[in-house]
Amino acid sequence: MTGKVFVLSLHRCGTRSTDRLLRDLGYSTVHWGRMVVREKPFAGLTRADAFAAFLPVLGRFDGFSDVPFNCFFEDLDRTFPDARFLLLTRDVEGWIRSVRDHIGDRGLSPFEALQYGLHGDIPSPYITDWTDAQLGGFHEAHIRAVRRHFASRPGKLLVRDLHADAGPAICAFLGADAGLALPDIG
What's the pLDDT tens digit per position in 14-40?
999 999 999 999 999 999 876 667 767
At 53 the pLDDT is 87
Give the number of residues written for the chain. Answer: 186
Task: Write down the mean pLDDT value for the chain.
Answer: 91
182 pLDDT band, cuts 50/70/90, is: confident
At 129 the pLDDT is 96
At 35 the pLDDT is 66
Q: Are the C-beta atoms of 76 and 148 separated by less than 8 Å?
A: no
Q: Are the C-beta atoms of 44 and 53 separated by less than 8 Å?
A: no
Predicted confidence (pLDDT) at residue 156 exceeds the cutoff of 70? yes
What is the Cα–Cα distance from 107 to 126, expressed in whole angstroms?
5
| Rg of the Cα atoms in the chain | 16
Kindly report whether the global pTM for this prediction surpasses the value 0.95. no
At 1 the pLDDT is 56
What is the Cα–Cα distance from 127 to 107, expressed in whole angstroms?
7
- Exposed, middle or buried by CB within 10 Å (0-12, 13-18, 19+), for 117? middle
Predicted confidence (pLDDT) at residue 127 exceeds the cutoff of 70? yes
What own/partner pairs with CB < 8 Å and gap ≥ 24 does 47-52 have? 47/71, 47/72, 47/114, 47/117, 47/118, 48/75, 50/114, 51/75
46 pLDDT band, cuts 50/70/90, is: confident
- Tell me the per-residue pLDDT of 47-80, one tens digit each, with 9 for 90 and over: 899 899 888 889 999 999 999 899 999 999 999 9
Q: Are the C-beta atoms of 160 and 166 separated by less than 8 Å?
A: yes
At 165 the pLDDT is 87
The CATH number of 5-173 is which of 2.160.10.10, 3.40.50.150, 3.40.50.300, 3.30.430.20?
3.40.50.300
Identify any residues that bridge with 65 across adjacent strands, giving them in sequence order: 31
At 90 the pLDDT is 95
C-alpha distances (whole Å) from 150 to each of 3, 73, 155 are: 18, 10, 9
Domain boundaries, the chain: 5-173
Lowest mean pLDDT among 45-49, 133-137, 148-152, 182-186: 182-186
